[in-house]
Chain A
């Protein structure tokens, strides 16, 4: 990996980290049911991933910036597993099941929303 690629990855990851921290600490969305901030971050990341996949980038630098740098640091899998782990520890198995189905379903809806939206505008 050359210096330019490293700088691009660092640039993307810094933005991803800062935006995630901001959303996790400040954004509170109430849709009538409980959506945690980590899930919101992952839904937004899925939406951006849909856009990225739809654009079908062949440019390696854009992939490094958005997919590896930005989305890699913006979305968080370990926090999602931690949410499930807390429910597992509390032995709330039904809530655990519904939460993970809900996150996977909504993530894919966001992904396809981004994907289809970009296909329309292209």
Chain B
């Protein structure tokens, strides 16, 4: 990969990191990330743009470790039912949000 392309990916990563810090809410970040991720994958984009937008921006914007830490905090309270409800709800919500973004993108173009 060219140096210039690597710099673009890193810059996208920095922007995503600061946006994540600014929002500071894992659930909102994951929903926004899934919505726009779905929106982007519905479009035909070049390999480089895919790497910058999906690999650089959205992968750094959403955080799996934040999700695991959130579930760990619930599990630490000993509330198994809340834990099971939350992790299923978050994943289902995100899949449907991504589908919604995908659907909107297809409708627009």
- Given A17-B9, A81-B37, A85-B95, do A75 and B21 touch, yes or no (CB 8 Å)? no
Q: How many B residues touch the partner, as a band?
A: 35 or more
Contact present for A78 and B59 (CB under 8 Å): yes
- Given A72-B17, A73-B59, A88-B99, do A108 and B65 touch, yes or no (CB 8 Å)? no
- Given A85-B98, A88-B95, A108-B68, do A77 and B62 touch, yes or no (CB 8 Å)? yes
Q: Mostly helix, strand, loop or mixed at chain A's interface? A: helix
Q: Mostly helix, strand, loop or mixed at chain B's interface? A: helix
Using an 8 Å CB-CB cutoff, how does the interface string of A58-93 with B read, 1 for contact, 0 for none? 000000000111011111111111101100100000
> Which positions 1-33 of chain B face chain A at CB distance < 8 Å?
9-10, 13-14, 16-18, 20-21, 30, 33
6 contacts between A and B (CB under 8 A): A21-B9, A68-B21, A72-B60, A78-B59, A108-B68, A108-B71
Q: Interface of B with A (CB < 8 Å)?
A: 9-10, 13-14, 16-18, 20-21, 30, 33-34, 37-38, 41, 54-56, 58-69, 71-72, 87, 91, 94-95, 98-99, 102
